[in-house]
Structure 1
């Protein structure tokens, strides 16, 4: 069986190891969702990953409701991404852009007071960080009720994904990953506690998988299946979405993606001892593994030993690491040499600036200090 440190082919991307950097929202772009120079240093530091999956990146203003998150819908954003991607390549790395539409998790503050869109008229639980009306700083507000997307609007959503995918390649990214997980727009269509439609996008599992299938096909038609990945989260409830029959749902989703022929599938599914509670059902990824023939990466708070055990058992072909990569820019080297890890500073995850972002030391620097 392969080790974490063996190369793997992820579609057109030749990854030198099987340690992927999971998407990690960091909030270091501008208020207008334009990448900033400090992001180039952050990603450059982590170029030792087999593949970096970028932070979630908005495909449109309609789909982006996270303060200071980047986008990929304008020429200005594309130009600002170019030095970020170039920095990764100059350091010997590979990077794919994660394409994001948040659906009902976009507060109306980001939309000029207009409601967000979703599969159905629902409201996400909790609060969201938005911009204040004036001055600087931040505030949190309860989510606002979404309106259902009309069927005649869905071609426009597909256009937005296609444009963002094309823009990603213009910016130099090696590929893209469609974010279809964690309670965002596509996940809101997939799950039956957030999708109450009675048209061709609701009701049966096949109908609820339709938007995922159409988005993926459109992106594949735009940039190629070998440069397209997808993220799913066959977990329990996340950001208010859940499903009554997750095994059947995600088996159908994985089979649809296999039919389209994407380059890789990456999944977030909680395990014991992780940062999210366990779902109230057995793991779903073994069912998906049977119907998806491409490379599969799992993401579930792995460490070196249990990550290798997942490869040894044939459960996955690669492992995506999230918060450990955030705090350890040299994570592959630390895992290979079984070195201690830097502690994470969660209070600095989203505050902006270099602190808690680009100031985590590599092992050699940490020892010298």
Structure 2
């Protein structure tokens, strides 16, 4: 009997050879201007056997740059750099979406190309200390509260970056509405203290900005090329969501009919997002069941598929050290551990030097 994870799946106009998605993971291998280094193409091409690859978070404009050496998708050099990546992935038989990640309140003048203050829904800083350029640390800065013009600009920045992604040859984009970044900041209790139409005092206020971004990008490049990632209740980087259910049910109900490529949903022990939101979502659902938990195993992925809570399963840490992860699952082969000392360095070591299974001597039961 074929494992559910290894069965093919039709995602819009794409046929995925398996149901394993490589989750977006920041690795800091961009040049200082945000252009991906040549080794980035090699890295993703090595993992092209994933049913779908979602890239690390990419800032849509310098206004949304969260950290030094994170990649961008704003300039012609960025587009050329990412085209090398998509061409390498496609040549290896893969499929790849770009994750657009606006940092919002994340960032520090010492880590931003413009050397300016970041901006978010409200002037609430991230917990400190924060990482800055060249491996240092600093106290966090208080972000500027976004004006109405700033919000409109952020929507347009996502649209422009999505169009740049298409020019770079991506199969689609994923909007990062999770894990404490800008869209999540509008959804959460402690980072959205606004008293205008985007604030909690207005019906639908918390979900207004996410919906505007999703709708604008879908209109620009096609809903079938647009995905959204959410992490209801995720407390990373000091996020507080006291009762995520009503907010996320409202958001899902408002976007369910748009025909998006997928919803990428992180489950959480404090709020069972998959169980609560899956019945409200009628499109493809990618489940991430390893956030803030042990890394997702083959068995955990199979269980989520078998339960009907998900159509696809995203794997993060396992793909870092195992570029041929689907083949390893198919053979029940052992997984290699991550070289944590070189996880966030800037070169090939700990990035593209993990061997494939066919380069190892394996003893299988």
Residue pair 1:104, 1:122 contacting (<8 A) in 2 also: yes
* Structure 2 residue 335 is the aligned partner of structure 1 residue 341: yes
Match of 1:118? 120
Match of 1:31? 32
TM-superposed deviation, 1:113: 4.4
Residue pair 1:255, 1:288 contacting (<8 A) in 2 also: no
- What is the number of residues matched between the two proteins? 354
TM-superposed deviation, 1:112: 4.2
Match of 1:175? 172
* Structure 2 residue 243 is the aligned partner of structure 1 residue 254: no
Unmatched 5+ stretches in structure 1: 132-136, 271-277
Q: How does 1:324-363 map to 2 (within 5 A)?
A: 324-363=318-357
CA–CA distance in 2 between the matches of 1:294 and 1:341? Answer: 32
Q: CA RMSD in A?
A: 1.5
Match of 1:199, SS?
coil
CA–CA distance in 1 between the matches of 2:266 and 2:196? Answer: 29
Counterparts in 2 of 1:239 and 1:345: CA distance versus 1, 3 Å: same
Q: How does 1:1-80 map to 2 (within 5 A)?
A: 3-80=4-81
Match of 2:141? 144
Residue pair 2:256, 2:281 contacting (<8 A) in 1 also: yes
CA–CA distance in 2 between the matches of 1:14 and 1:127? Answer: 44
Residue pair 2:233, 2:271 contacting (<8 A) in 1 also: no
Residue of 262, 265, 268 corresponding to 2:263: 265
Residue pair 2:266, 2:273 contacting (<8 A) in 1 also: no
Match of 1:305? 299
CA–CA distance in 2 between the matches of 1:269 and 1:34? Answer: 32
Q: Deviations along 1:94-131, whole A, 9 cap, x unmatched?
A: 00000010111111221644321101110100233222
Unmatched 5+ stretches in structure 2: 291-295
TM-score normalised by structure 1 residue count: 0.93
Q: How does 1:100-249 map to 2 (within 5 A)?
A: 100-109=101-110, 110=112, 112-131=114-133, 137-203=134-200, 204=202, 206-249=204-247
Q: Deviations along 1:329-349, whole A, 9 cap, x unmatched?
A: 000011111100001112211
TM-superposed deviation, 1:259: 2.7
| Greater mean alpha carbon deviation, residues 318-327 or residues 247-256 | 247-256
TM-superposed deviation, 1:12: 2.8
Counterparts in 2 of 1:237 and 1:343: CA distance versus 1, 3 Å: same
Q: Deviations along 1:11-45, whole A, 9 cap, x unmatched?
A: 33321110000001111110110011101110010
Counterparts in 2 of 1:49 and 1:26: CA distance versus 1, 3 Å: same
CA–CA distance in 1 between the matches of 2:356 and 2:3? Answer: 26
